[in-house]
Amino acid sequence: MSLYIRIVVGLLCMAMGHLVYAKWDEERDVTTNGKEEFIYYYKTNEQGHKLVLDKYIKRLIFIQKDRLLKRTINQIKIDGVDLEVMSDTFSHYPEQTAITFENKDEVLKKLFLAKKVEVYVRYGREPGVSIFQIK
């Protein structure tokens, strides 16, 4: 009987682990040599902006296809809590901006459990905010 209970508990834990990631949409990418498959988690908001959670390099990637202007991101909010970040635009993909932070493992855990992520974007002197609801 106890073996049966352990199996059921183990299956429930595995299912609950998938529920955490289920809040983010999933995208698969295969390397150019076709040997490795990477899984990225992302959310798209009402404005058409995309926020990609790159667990391999431990960063976020903000994508805004409708604006190719140079942008900087110095702050995000995870469930209302401010977090200072650094950003760098990809030279070959100007619509994409990498968002990096200190305490990468801790921040990634918070992002996987987040219900709302706010990205504060600055285009030159023009401020903006992009909000992602994660359900």
Q: pLDDT tens digits, residue range 1-19?
A: 554 444 444 444 444 444 4
Listed range (7-21, 78-92, 112-126) with the worst mean pLDDT: 7-21
Interval 24-74: pLDDT, tens: 999 888 877 778 888 999 999 999 999 999 999 999 999 988 655 678 999
- Please give the Cα distance from 18 to 6 (Å, whole number): 19
Name the residue with higher pLDDT: 107 or 15: 107
For the entire predicted model, the pTM comes to 0.77
pLDDT of residue 66: 66
Sheet holding 25-30, edge to edge: 25-30, 37-44, 50-54, 59-63, 96-100, 86-89
Report whether pLDDT(95) > 60. yes
CA distance 118 to 129: 7
What average pLDDT does range 82-106 have in this prediction? 91
- The reported pLDDT for the residue numbered 109 is 93
The Cα 97–Cα 73 span in angstroms is 8
